Amino acid sequence: MKHREWTRLVPAMVCALILFGLPACGDEETGQEAPPGCDTLFEGLNEGYMVNGIERSFYIDLPEGVEASWPWPVVFAWHGFGDSARNFRRLTEDLVDNEVMPFIAVTPENTRMLLEWDIADAANPENREVLLFDALLDEIDTCWGVDRDHVHSTGFSFGDGISAMLGVLRSDVIASIAGWSGVYGSNPANDLPYIVADWPELSPDNKYVELRVHGGILDWFVMPFGTFGENDRIYMNDNGHDYIDCRHNSIHNQGVRFMGAEHIIRFFADHPYGTEDSPYELGLPADYPDSCYLSQKN
């Protein structure tokens, strides 16, 4: 089950309170039964999780009261080349209980492919990262309930490229994406060779809003990510997407110092599924760097 229009199959659970003559636990507005909790996913490091015959590892961070309330926003966070999930997790683990949008955080580990991630062959229906995304979203929905208006992805460098890939391949699921120094392999202007990117075109559905933090000519690691940021702004606008461009003038790995994860989470909270016209057209949040601006779709 991969798509937004699927029927959610949540195992029924009767609350212990019913024993005392009180109503069973459930969502009064939707009638949805309470998720049962989880014995297949765990807070912290999960190892040996099998997806299409491949063992995957990832961290999960849960907000307080995850089993007392539902459904939950979910944020996937993908690390950059040479980094680790253990290190990148630090960006989100202390934010899951934030006041703006408490969420479940998923920080996957790569599988040591050529570019660490399965980012080159996005056209492959067995793409490792897409299948992991699908599997974990299903599992989290069964365990704790997923807020389908708030499934988001962030990352750094090639990790942010995974977010872009999900935007291309899972636009019926992804609400909005934001991150640091990513790239669209589907953008002809980026002139990526086949070995680096065999991607399908952007979907004509769900014109999600993107926020990209990137540098200028110093934002270079194997490839010119600063140039990709400008190319992708034009590409997204031409394809009907609003795009918030935040440019720093430092080296590739300094974007997080320029604009932190707390800004990313605020952006996600303000851009649920179906948001095509950014509410920031009335003005960016006051704590955004001065170089950030909203580039509106054509």
Note the pLDDT tens digit of each residue in 239-293.
999 999 999 989 998 988 999 999 999 999 999 999 999 999 999 999 999 999 9
Q: How confident is the model at residue 238 (pLDDT cuts 50, 70, 90)?
A: very high
Does any domain span residue 109? yes
The per-residue pLDDT for 37 is 67
Average pLDDT over residues 217-246: 95
Name the average pLDDT for the chain: 87
Q: Please tell me the total count of domains within the chain.
A: 1
Q: For residue 216, give every residue at least 6 positions away whose Cβ sits within 8 Å of its Cβ, in sequence order, or none.
A: 226, 247, 248, 249
pLDDT at 151 exceeding the cut of 90: yes
pLDDT digit string, tens, across residues 45-87: 999 999 999 999 999 999 999 988 889 999 999 999 999 999 9
Q: Which CATH number belongs to the domain containing residue 173 in this structure?
A: 3.40.50.1820
Residue 28 lies in a domain: no
Place of tokens 């935007």: 167
Domain that holds residue 63: 39-295
* Two tokens, residue 130: 């897409």
Instruction: Flag whether pLDDT at 225 surpasses 90.
Output: yes
Strand pairing category for 243-247 and 293-295? antiparallel
Local confidence band at 196 (pLDDT 50, 70, 90 cut-offs): low
- Decide if pLDDT at 19 tops 70: no
- The enclosing H or E element of 72 equals strand 72-78
Is there a domain that residue 23 lies in?
A: no
Whole-prediction pTM value? 0.87
Please give the pLDDT value at position 192. 84
pLDDT computed for residue 204 by the predictor: 85
Strands 54-61 vs 44-51: parallel, antiparallel or unpaired: antiparallel
pLDDT for residue 194: 62
Residue 13 forms part of a structural domain: no
How far apart are alpha carbons 46 and 37 in whole angstroms? 16
Average pLDDT over residues 136-164: 97
CA atoms within 13 A on the CB side of 46: 22
Residue 22 in any domain: the answer is: no
Q: Half-sphere exposure (CA, 13 Å, Cβ side) for 233?
A: 19
Backbone angles phi, psi at 134, to 5 degrees: -60, -45
Residue 18 falls inside a structural domain: no
In this structure, what token pair is assigned to residue 233?
């702004």
Q: Is the separation of the CB atoms in 230 and 291 below 8 Å?
A: no
Closest CA to 176 of 213, 212, 219: 212
What is residue 36's predicted lDDT score, i.e. its pLDDT?
62
Residue 131 in any domain: the answer is yes
15 pLDDT more than 80: no
Mean pLDDT of 180-197: 86
Task: Decide the pairing of beta strands 210-214 and 220-221.
Answer: unpaired
Can you tell me which residue has the tokens 């609350």? Answer: 15
pLDDT digits (tens, 9 = 90+) for 85-108: 999 999 999 999 999 999 999 999
Q: Is residue 104 in a domain?
A: yes
Residue 44, helix vs strand vs coil: strand
pLDDT of 297 higher than 80: yes
Question: What is the end-to-end Cα distance of the chain in Å, rounded?
Answer: 34
